[in-house]
Amino acid sequence: MPNHATAPVRMGAFRLSAVAAALLSLAACSDISRLTGMELRPDGGQQAASQRPAPAAPARSRAETLYRDGLRHMEGSGVPVDMARAAELIGQSADLGHAESQYLLGTNAALRGALTRPPEAPALWLTRAALQGHARAQQRLGDAYASGAGVGRDLPWAALWYNRAAERGVPEAQLAFGRMLARGQGTARDPAEAYGWLGLAAAAGQAEAAAERSGLEGALDPAARRAADARVRAQRRAGSVGHPDRPLIRFAQSALRALQLGNEAPSGRATAATRQALAGFARAESLVPRDPWAPAIIARLRDRSRAALSGG
């Protein structure tokens, strides 16, 4: 597979679609980390973080064709390498909502540089792909929030995106999320859950995961270790769920506990106690809790709990 991150750059023409123009209005935000729990939609609006906008059915075939044609020009497959043409085609595909095209624009500086449009932060493209369930985009978005690369450093939001990517089988995300659970960084400390995710990462070849996992064994009896492995494997097999998804619920439970607004152990299951605590938080913040998972409530909870969840 060619290295998309090192392809040469050649500038060329690119026509902005109406959708792209709407997206560009969001690129001026100086701290895109503050846009989520209300994440970007392809139409330039906002929505809850676990909802995943996909191309409308009539656009899917067109978006895939544009993407594949763009790759041919990017890789020189049957045609000369032409990054300007590749950027035009992949950019059009991304504007139609094609997640792999959005991921490429989020990870390939040369491709972004060949677009004749105002520059957009890589994390914006990664967010658009991640919202559609693109596992690698979710992992890279977790990396961005964990390091503060191009976004405000935000360990709780890094944990949420690592959790989503981990559930989709990305070993690097399983390792990163397992470490955060083990240390109580970005999420409530949970050695059993950490043990389970580190086990999946180790089985997938992440050498560091096995050492991290062995360090947790003394804190867990054999029955707890077996239960953790079974629980995490079941989550992985079950795949993603609708809104609110397990990672968003775990984030909310961890945040509420860190703020001493509830003592429920984070489980990723939306219990009555979780909903009541969220509604109480919303009222205290003068927000109308018609839906305790409303984006405005999650965004405020994220803001209030960031410092409390970033220790370890």
| CA atoms of 40 and 49, how far apart (whole Å) | 8
Q: What is the mean pLDDT of the chain?
A: 83
pLDDT of residue 92: 94
From the list 21, 142, 165, 2, the residue with the least C-alpha distance to 72 is 2
- Count the Cβ atoms, other than its own, within 10 Å of residue 56: 10
Predicted confidence (pLDDT) at residue 12 exceeds the cutoff of 70: no
Of the ranges 24-28, 35-39, 283-287, which one carries the lowest mean pLDDT score? 24-28
pLDDT at 48: 43
Give pLDDT, residue 59: 83
The pLDDT of residue 9 is 27
Q: Is the pLDDT of residue 272 over 70?
A: yes
The string of pLDDT tens digits covering residues 178-212 is 999 999 999 999 999 999 999 999 999 999 999 99
Q: How many CA atoms lie within 13 A of 107 on its CB side?
A: 20
pLDDT in tens, 73-93: 999 999 999 999 999 999 999
| Least confident interval from 25-34, 120-129, 172-181 | 25-34
Q: Which of these ranges, 35-44, 144-153, 166-175, 178-187, has the smallest mean pLDDT?
A: 35-44
Residue 288 confidence (pLDDT) = 85
For residues 230 and 193, the answer to whether their CB atoms sit within 8 Å is no
User: Tokens standing for 119?
Assistant: 């520059």
pLDDT > 70? residue 67? yes
Where is pLDDT greater, at 150 or 249? 249
Q: Provide the pLDDT for residue 312.
A: 52
The pLDDT of residue 16 is above 70: no
* Rounded Cα gap, residues 154 and 259, in angstroms: 16
pLDDT at 27 over 60: no
Q: Where are the domains of the chain?
A: 4-18+52-130, 138-238, 246-309
> What would the pLDDT profile of 231-271 be if each residue is shown by its tens digit?
999 888 877 677 899 999 999 999 999 999 988 999 999 99
Of all helices (H) and strands (E), which one includes residue 213?
A: helix 207-214
Q: Which of 18-32, 141-155, 254-268 has the lowest mean pLDDT?
A: 18-32
- Nearest CA among 154, 155, 199, 200 for reference residue 180: 155
Residue-wise pLDDT tens digits, 286-300: 998 789 999 999 999
Residue 14 predicted with pLDDT over 60: no
**CATH topology (fold) of 138-238:** 1.25.40
Which amino acid, residue 43? D
